[in-house]
Amino acid sequence: MKEVKFLGRGGQGVVIASQILARAFFYAGFYPQCYSLFGGERRGAPVKGFLRVDREKVLLKCEIKKADELILMAEDLMLEEDVLSQLKPGGLLLLNSSRPPAQAEGVRMAVIDAQAIAEDCGLKAIVNTAVLGAYSRLNPELPLSLLEKAVRESVPSKIEANVEALRRGYERVSIL
């Protein structure tokens, strides 16, 4: 079973990102389970999203403490001391940032400037599809075409702009 944890801020599309990724994994033949935790329902408030996927039905229903893959949609969350403790050894950290962070020992890292892509595509602060494009590049078991299909069926507006952000995220991710 693969466990993916999303950390971001309200307004970045964390909840929709976990739903899109779950749908794409479903199209790829996996059983997904996703849910989110958030408080004050306001822009900028911390938001967590969780996704479990497996080739068999997922029966575990609890918060993911240590993920196989951690997606940080807000760069400032990298400053929290315990953020890397939420990732299993050898796990993947995908960070939305305009500059590469210091290399963390024992984890695989990738960086995407999803904010710049979102702004170029007219999506303002909604970085989720650019981040998911980068995620697809890092996970060969999840083709970009399946994510594109999931985006087209899941986003409520600016569908073509979101598809373009997805493609640009795929092309521009930097693997450290």
pLDDT for position 112: 97
The total of structural domains in the chain comes to 1
Average pLDDT over residues 33-45: 77
User: The pTM is what?
Assistant: 0.94
d(CA 84, CA 104): 8
Average pLDDT over residues 126-135: 98
pLDDT for position 68: 98
pLDDT for position 75: 87
What are the counts of helices (DSSP H) followed by strands (DSSP E) for the chain?
5, 7
Average pLDDT over residues 60-64: 89
Residue type, 151: V
**Average pLDDT score, the chain:** 92
Bridge partners for 47 per DSSP: 8, 38
Residue 151 exposed, middle or buried by CB count within 10 Å (0-12, 13-18, 19+): buried
pLDDT for position 149: 98
Bridge partners for 54 per DSSP: 31
The whole domain housing 138 covers 2-175
Token representation of residue 75:
């760069």
Residue type, 10: G
- Residue 38 sits in a domain of what CATH number? 3.40.920.10
